[in-house]
Amino acid sequence: MMRANSISKDYDGFLALDNVSFDLEDSGIFGIVGHNGAGKTTLLKIMAGLIAPSSGELTAGDIDVIKNPDALKQNLGYLPEESRLYETMTVEGYLSFFGEIYNMTPESVKARSNELLHDLSLDAGGKKLGELSKGMKRKVAIARSLIHDPSYLVYDEPTSGLDPMTSRYISEFLRSMKSDKKKTILLSAHNLYQVEELCDRVMILQRGKEVAFGTMDELREQFGSVYYIVEFVTEDKDVIDSIIENYDLSAGIYSAKLDNVDTLNSLTAAVSSSGGRIRKIESHYPSLEEMLLKLGR
């Protein structure tokens, strides 16, 4: 479990994070979203022990991260938003270099590299890092973050700038890191659909403040209700008029937008008992994008 309690970060008088608190249970994927400058990278760097908060407490298991950031680094893999790789190295050379930093033996680095390259479906064919595509480079950076098999992964925009297929591959990879390898993953992303799909819980940051942290269902409840689009046919207009005021009628098909499930139930019952037919009911849940747009900056 990672636990952040009242974390604030002041950059020379500018409050980039303001009293942020949350718990991350083990083996989960947690997303941080927010507009540009909301404080995501700052929070991730603090969570990775790379910069110290101005105040607050942070623990990972029994490690006090603020007092002992080096102890956390042994058990954490950090993926920066942009990772500069050593262009003239091969993938294997690069991963060995980082394995040595973690005091791994050459044999264990080799075995671990092979496993990661296989799992990430990365075959560089002996090319140098500078010759790889963007997606391949991102996979190398991900492999580097995992070389020492850490329990905690802190990833800043893991799929930013990647094509949809590579992006999906990395999403699936992260999902398997959680479910098969029991990793705890904290990530930020501007791809809100990916966050919705992937994350167990999501934090919305706005100008350094934590506006919400919960499952997508909890956020939906907080940020707006579900509505329903219903389409139906009936010969009995009076019964419809007795239940709803606003609807469209086109080519004999009624359509209405309802924000109350009781009204929806009354309407569907009335349509059926009038001998009519429900053609379609669509539920609409507010997306993360709609929530962020609603919040504004």
Ligand X SMILES: Nc1ncnc2c1ncn2[C@@H]1O[C@H](COP(=O)(O)OP(=O)(O)OP(=O)(O)O)[C@@H](O)[C@H]1O
Q: For the residues of 124-162, what is the DSSP string, one character each?
A: -TT-BGGGS-HHHHHHHHHHHHHTT--SEEEEESTTTT-
User: Considering beta carbons, is residue 13 or 125 the nearer one to ligand X?
Assistant: 13
Cβ proximity to ligand X, 122 vs 292, nearer residue:
292
Among 195, 132, 157, CA closest to 79: 157
CB of 266 to ligand X, least distance (A): 45
Under the criterion CB under 6 A, does residue 14 sit at the interface with ligand X?
Answer: yes
Task: Considering only residues 88 through 127, tell me which ones interact with ligand X, judged by CB under 6 A.
Answer: none
Alpha carbons 105 and 118: distance in angstroms, whole number: 20
* Total number of residues that touch ligand X (CB under 6 A): 11
- Closest approach, Cβ 44 to ligand X, in A, equals 8
| Smallest separation (angstroms) from ligand X to the CB of 82 | 10
Report, in Å, the least distance between residue 56 CB and ligand X.
15
Q: Does 191 bind ligand X (CB under 6 A)?
A: no
Closest approach, Cβ 226 to ligand X, in A, equals 29
Burial class of 72 by CB neighbour count within 10 A (0 to 12, 13 to 18, 19+):
buried
**Cβ proximity to ligand X, 129 vs 195, nearer residue:** 195
Phi, psi (degrees; rounded to nearest 5) at 212: -160, 150
Q: Decide whether 40 or 148 has the Cβ nearer to ligand X.
A: 40
CB of 36 to ligand X, least distance (A): 3
Q: How far is the CB of 74 from ligand X (least distance, A)?
A: 25
Task: Compare residues 42 and 159 and give the one whose CB is closer to ligand X.
Answer: 42
16 binds ligand X (CB under 6 A): yes
Residue of 264, 278, 201, 202 whose CA lies nearest to 228: 264
For 250, the enclosing helix (H) or strand (E) is strand 248-250
* 13 near ligand X (CB under 6 A): no
Segment near ligand X (CB under 6 A); pick from 29-37, 57-65, 174-182, 234-242: 29-37
11 near ligand X (CB under 6 A): yes
Residues 30-89 that bind ligand X (CB under 6 A): 34, 36-42
Q: Output the DSSP codes for 14-47.
A: EEEEEEEEEEE-SS-EEEEE-STTSSHHHHHHHH
Q: Which is nearer to ligand X, 58 or 91 (CB)?
A: 58
Using the Cα atoms of residue 125, residue 115, residue 163 and residue 207 in order, give the sign of their dihedral: negative
Do 170 and 146 meet the contact criterion of CB atoms below 8 Å apart?
no
Our CA angle for 47, 77, 81, nearest 5°, is 75
Closest CA to 259 of 285, 233, 278, 293: 285
State the residues that interact with ligand X by CB under 6 A: 11, 14, 16, 34, 36-42
